[in-house]
Amino acid sequence: MSVGAEYPVLAGRDVELAQLLEVVDDAAAGRSGMRLLVGAPGIGKTALLSEVCRLTSSRAEIMMGAGLPLTSLSVPLLPIAAAVRRWASTTGAPIPTLPQPGEGTDHVVVEFDSWLDRLCARRPVLLAVDDLHWADQSTLDLLTYVLAGPPERPLAVLLASRDLTLLRDGHPLHRWLADSARMPRFSQTPVGPLDRLGTANQMAAILGGPARESLVDDVYSHTRGNAYLTRLIVEHLPLDAHRLPAELPTTLREAVLQPWHDMTPAARELTRLLAVGAAPVPAAVLSTVSAAVGLPDDVVPLLHEAVAAGLLEVHASGAYWFRHPLQAEVLESGVLPEERRAWHTAFATALEPRTASHGVRAVAAVADHHFRAGNDELAYRWALRAARAAADAHGTAEMLRLLRRAVVLHRRVHDPPESRVELLQQVRRAAERVGRQEEELTAVDQLLAEPLDDPLEAAALRVRRMNLRHSTGRKFAGLDDVREAVRLAAPWPHSWQYAYALAELAHAEIWHDDPAGDAHAEAAVEAARVADDRRALPYALAARSMARTMWGGGRPAPDWADEAIDAAVDAQDWWAFSHVALWEANALAAGSEPAYTVPLRARRRQLAALGAPHTYVGFLCAAEASSLLTVGRWRECQENLRVALGSSPGPMGEVTARLTAALLATRQGRLPEAQGHLHRAEELYEERSEFLAFEFDASRAEVALAAGDLEGAVAAALTGVSTPGPPPTRAEWLLPLAARALADLAQEHRDHGTALTETFDRLRELRRAHPAVLQDGGSAPPWYAEQLAALQAMYDVEWLRAQADPGAGPAWAEVADRCAAVSLPWDAAYAACRAAEAYLTDRRGRARGTAWLRRAHEMASDLRAVPLLTELEDLARTARISLSAIPGPSRDTDGKPASAGHAFSALAGITAREQEVLGLVVAGRTYGEIARALSISEKTVSVHISHLLQKTGTASRLELARLAQRAERPGSEQAGQAGPEHPGQPSDEAGRSGPERPGPERPGPERARRPGRGPPG
């Protein structure tokens, strides 16, 4: 099955779909209603109507028609007639009299309503009319008559129309809507553009898999959530495309310019001129520009024509601009280069007089037009002028954009008064203030390529470069830059730059397990206090706390973080603030403890209140979300992720958020979404497994497990285990995940009837090489130690599952209890599910299995863990155990138990009749119910089941059902023998009586525990 098939038919339309389905539900309950969808062309109204018709086709008579944009021909009741005739062609039922062209419709309206009454008396009816804005007056009259009909009949009427602001004054729909809106059973649903996530899901459905996030960004910036335009721009792209091609598809160009082609030549030329203006323009300015380039200066009638055609709209300020920015892009791309330069010069000249009264926007517009016109000298001067104006207005982001342009133009300008170094320093400071780390890193690289007179400045820049490379994923805690910084600053031991370099050298050394980091951290604190400069102190205090947290040696003073935070605020250094906030939380708790988020949340709120860039607020939000997910507070995690990803939190913050979102989506059954988040994280970072502050390996392993890629899961987990240096974040889960995947592989071999020897050998080797789950040293605080013990028990018991040990129930129950006791609810729910399965497979353990099944179901329900819930409900249904979340056997229209109709064709060697019997066994039916459903005797049923047990090598109906359910899951490949020929059981030395016990911890420096998160983004 393709990944794309797992995406919903409609993306991002849950609210609108629910409102439409509510009208149909009300109709089925005997309450008629009418709802109108209103939205821009291509926004997705037709898709919504079609989906409602599809979802309700089994419980209502469906009639759907649409208006047509006829000009010289008038067909009365066209959409109604089309809907009725289409319905009749599929049902063969008689239809009412429909009018012919030129014939009156009064008698038809009354007869049609009476016919609807008779039809509704037998079954609910859904009448859907699309493109109502093209319907004639007789159709509107009929709908009014139907709306005023009996309120108790089971009739749902769903309509769709363009936004009325796009319709001409006096259009019949204006009056009809005003009248209908006063009636009690009429309602409207506005349909707006999709958000970015909805666009991403729509793209995945079109492409057959999750698109790269860089492509999603590109598409969304072009289509702004218009579903039709998204389809046109995406449908011919390959799945692995990174960006849109330079040339947009012809179909897209034609679609966005459809209203433009219907306008007069003068109006079309004026809109081309407006597109070159690149922003909303008042009529007076447009008139001046138009006259300057030889076009008509009386632009008001032409603007009126463009507005009436639906191409332009009037902003509240009185300026004119396109209804969709893609229209401007397409029109501007068709302007010749010589023409474009002349028009930009005209715009710059016309806008200059407005700069004194219209602020930064006007000054920046003049600078932009001079730049696009190729007027380098003017563009340079105006860029600096606009940058100063933006700085005065606290528009740092706009100032940064203009300063970057000034750097580009600097070499084209004759004898500029500013040096390149001065400009680059301004760019770097502006980028730092707005949290644009990529742009700041570029400026730092450029500055370090210039001859710098001050060694201390060069030292500070090198330290900053190390941190920025770290934050943007280029190098994990790189030592080269910071060692050179210490060397450059060493002649000035009392300078803040020396203390800063020493602190960050310690920071990098600690990450790399270099024992020198401890002494350098202590020396950095002393140097920072001697320098008496607030800029170095937060880094020095954080480095000392980091050393003590990761290597032991006593807790840092309780007030160190307050002192460090105050210093970071004084210096307006948000990187330092985030750094301190994380190591304060790490010093107080492990990231997998509930207490971890308490100080982190307080610092994040403090940071937001200070007006820091979203880059840093979002990063702390993402770090908090990761911890919240681990302890099962998934709703709070989800809210934090929305904040973190609401705007760009920088590469490091986004990777943290994406990996957390991938895990949450995986555990709650949204696999394509999870894969999309993981892809985006992988796009953002050059270093992955080697970047210890991230959980790439554990996340990849979980996503691969959910997708049924067991070998991929093993490989991902073992990559994290074997990467040199300290273990990565979430290292504690790597070995349990690897063992889980290998146990699943063993079960697959058992199901296939193939040899298990190789899989058992791999498990033995894994446990020989890594007898204990990974941790950061020998000593650990009590809570973290208990978590490690619980995960160790899970690692051990997966070995029993791999052997299909019938006595594994108590071991799984113990794991579930231990995980629940230390706030690892996802792991506890998984273990509880395994306990239920193990007990129920043992015929003597039904009572315990039932208790664990219900407990696991309750836990999984709280977590909304859909894949786990599905497995539990399948198990309960098969074992005929009642759970409140599982309905009883459904009935078909003949009163027989529904057979579920599922043919388990993935199991080789079974007949068609045996497939039918198997489907009913999986559904939990008794012998008698199976016999009645298939019209055979109970003895024949018994014979079929005996054959199935023999062919599949299973010992009971429950084992048989579980085998069939596994065969249908993603990634399962049931091929080869129907039953086991190579049991491949382990030797007695493997320890069938219980799990192998852990050996000694791997050698390494003693550290307190894995910190919750790494340095900031």
CATH of the domain at 57: 3.40.50.300
The answer to whether 997 and 1003 have CB atoms below 8 angstroms apart is no
The answer to whether 506 and 524 have CB atoms below 8 angstroms apart is yes
Does residue 976 carry a pLDDT above 60? no
Residue 276 and residue 336: Cα distance in Å, rounded?
11
| pLDDT given for residue 554 in this prediction | 57
Q: How far apart are the first and last CA of the chain?
A: 38
Q: Which carries the bigger pLDDT value, residue 890 or residue 775?
A: 775
* Residue 919 counted as domain residue: yes
Q: Domain check: are 918 and 773 in the same one? A: no
Q: 3-class SS at 584?
A: helix
Nearest to 834 by CA among 956, 740, 771, 698: 740
| pTM exceeding 0.85 | no
Nearest to 543 by CA among 573, 518, 577: 518
DSSP string, 900-964: TT---TTSTT--HHHHHHHHHHHTT--HHHHHHHHT--HHHHHHHHHHHHHHHT-SSHHHHHHHH
Does residue 324 carry a pLDDT above 70? yes
Query: Each residue of 425-480: pLDDT tens digit?
Result: 999 999 999 999 999 999 999 999 999 889 999 999 999 999 999 988 888 889 99
Q: Domain check: are 92 and 162 in the same one? A: yes
Q: Domain check: are 204 and 188 in the same one? A: no
Mean pLDDT, residues 902-920: 66
Pairing verdict, β 61-66 and 33-39: unpaired
Question: 394-398, 404-408, 637-641, 713-717: lowest mean pLDDT where?
Answer: 394-398
Residue 922 and residue 959: Cα distance in Å, rounded?
10
Bridge partners for 33 per DSSP: 156
DSSP state of 352: G
Nearest to 615 by CA among 588, 651, 668: 651
CA distances from 167 to 45, 109, 173, 321, 726 (A): 17, 26, 9, 18, 65
Structural domain total, the chain? 6
Query: Each residue of 161-200: pLDDT tens digit?
Result: 887 776 666 778 888 888 888 888 888 888 888 888 788 8
Q: Domain check: are 88 and 175 in the same one? A: yes
The answer to whether 630 and 790 have CB atoms below 8 angstroms apart is no
Q: Domain check: are 272 and 392 in the same one? A: yes
Bridge partners for 128 per DSSP: 64, 158
Mean pLDDT, residues 759-774: 93
The answer to whether 230 and 219 have CB atoms below 8 angstroms apart is yes
Pairing verdict, β 319-322 and 61-66: unpaired
Residue 647 and residue 114: Cα distance in Å, rounded?
56
Residue 707 and residue 715: Cα distance in Å, rounded?
14
| pLDDT given for residue 887 in this prediction | 42
Does residue 13 carry a pLDDT above 50? yes
Q: Domain check: are 92 and 150 in the same one? A: yes
Kindly state the tokens that stand for 973: 């490949």
Q: Which carries the bigger pLDDT value, residue 1016 or residue 584?
A: 584
Residue 839 and residue 690: Cα distance in Å, rounded?
41
Question: 287-301, 613-627, 776-790, 855-869: lowest mean pLDDT where?
Answer: 776-790
Nearest to 51 by CA among 122, 116, 130: 130
Query: Each residue of 503-554: pLDDT tens digit?
Result: 999 999 988 888 999 999 999 999 999 998 889 999 999 999 988 887 775 5
Q: Domain check: are 532 and 552 in the same one? A: yes
Nearest to 231 by CA among 41, 420, 414: 41
Q: Is the dihedral of CA 358, 361, 367, 368 positive or negative?
A: negative
Q: Which one of 559, 578, 597 terminates a domain? A: 578
Kindly state the tokens that stand for 79: 């959409």
Nearest to 352 by CA among 279, 270, 289, 274: 289
| pLDDT given for residue 727 in this prediction | 77
* Residue 703 counted as domain residue: no
Mean pLDDT, residues 738-754: 89
Does residue 812 carry a pLDDT above 60? yes
DSSP state of 166: G
CA atoms within 13 A on the CB side of 334: 17
The answer to whether 645 and 657 have CB atoms below 8 angstroms apart is yes
Nearest to 385 by CA among 399, 374, 396: 399
Which of the four pLDDT bands, split at 50, 70 and 90, describes residue 776?
low
DSSP string, 271-326: HHHHHHH-S-EEHHHHHHHHHHTTS-S--HHHHHHHHHTTSEEE-TTSEEEESSHH
- pLDDT > 90 fraction of the chain, expressed in percent and rounded: 43
How many Cβ atoms sit within 10 Å of the Cβ of residue 444? 24
Q: Which one of 207, 233, 250 terminates a domain? A: 250
* Residue 396 counted as domain residue: yes
* Residue 1010 counted as domain residue: no
Q: Which residue has the tokens 């840093």?
A: 616
* Residue 290 counted as domain residue: yes
Angle at 1003 between CA 999 and CA 1007, to 5 degrees: 110
Say which CATH number the domain at 930 has: 1.10.10.10
Residue 350 dihedral angles phi and psi, to the nearest 5°: -70, -30
Does residue 840 carry a pLDDT above 70? yes
Question: What burial class does residue 610 get, using C-beta atoms within 10 Å of its C-beta: 0-12 exposed, 13-18 middle, 19+ buried?
Answer: middle
Residue 938 and residue 931: Cα distance in Å, rounded?
5
Does residue 323 carry a pLDDT above 50? yes
Kindly state the tokens that stand for 210: 């999750």
Does residue 133 carry a pLDDT above 50? yes
Does residue 211 carry a pLDDT above 50? yes
Residue 37 dihedral angles phi and psi, to the nearest 5°: -85, 130
Buried b (16+ CB within 10 A) or exposed e, 647-669: ebbbbbbbbbbbbbbbbbbbbbb
Bridge partners for 156 per DSSP: 33, 126
Q: Which one of 879, 900, 935 terminates a domain? A: 879
Phi-psi region of 571 (alpha: psi -120 to 50; beta: other; left: phi over 0): alpha
Q: Domain check: are 285 and 358 in the same one? A: yes
| pLDDT given for residue 935 in this prediction | 65
**Sheet architecture: strand order including 312-314:** 281-282, 319-322, 312-314
Q: Domain check: are 265 and 394 in the same one? A: yes
Residue 263 dihedral angles phi and psi, to the nearest 5°: -90, 165
Question: 30-34, 548-552, 827-831, 993-997: lowest mean pLDDT where?
Answer: 993-997
* Residue 40 counted as domain residue: yes
| pLDDT given for residue 1011 in this prediction | 45
| pLDDT given for residue 286 in this prediction | 95
The answer to whether 600 and 620 have CB atoms below 8 angstroms apart is yes
* Residue 798 counted as domain residue: yes
User: Rounded to the nearest 10 degrees, how much is the dihedral formed by the CA atoms of 665, 671, 673, 675?
Assistant: 110
Domain with 416, as residue range(s), is 258-429
Does residue 310 carry a pLDDT above 80? yes
Nearest to 970 by CA among 722, 759, 767, 666: 666
Residue 589 and residue 599: Cα distance in Å, rounded?
10
Does residue 332 carry a pLDDT above 60? yes
Residue 95 and residue 89: Cα distance in Å, rounded?
10
Question: 2-11, 40-49, 322-331, 918-927: lowest mean pLDDT where?
Answer: 2-11
Q: Which residue has the tokens 């047990």?
A: 949
Nearest to 303 by CA among 291, 313, 288: 313
Alpha-helical runs (H) found in 631-649: 634-645
| pLDDT given for residue 778 in this prediction | 45
Buried b (16+ CB within 10 A) or exposed e, 158-174: bbbbbbeebbeeeeebe
Q: 3-class SS at 39?
A: strand
Q: Which residue has the tokens 């790597």?
A: 734
CA distances from 672 to 11, 112, 218, 837 (A): 12, 46, 20, 28
Please, what is the average pLDDT of the chain?
A: 83
Q: Which residue has the tokens 């860029």?
A: 383
- pLDDT > 70 fraction of the chain, expressed in percent and rounded: 86
How many Cβ atoms sit within 10 Å of the Cβ of residue 936? 16
Q: For the chain, how are helix, strand and coil distributed in percent, rounded to 5?
A: 65, 5, 35
Q: Domain check: are 522 and 544 in the same one? A: yes
| pLDDT given for residue 521 in this prediction | 94
Q: Domain check: are 245 and 171 in the same one? A: no
Residue 820 and residue 810: Cα distance in Å, rounded?
15
Q: Which carries the bigger pLDDT value, residue 1007 or residue 402?
A: 402
Q: Domain check: are 56 and 74 in the same one? A: yes
| pLDDT given for residue 961 in this prediction | 67
Question: 403-412, 496-505, 887-896: lowest mean pLDDT where?
Answer: 887-896
* Residue 613 counted as domain residue: no
Query: Each residue of 45-78: pLDDT tens digit?
Result: 888 899 899 888 888 889 898 887 765 556 778 8
Bridge partners for 65 per DSSP: 129
Residue 712 and residue 738: Cα distance in Å, rounded?
10
Residue 568 and residue 539: Cα distance in Å, rounded?
9
Residue 574 and residue 947: Cα distance in Å, rounded?
70
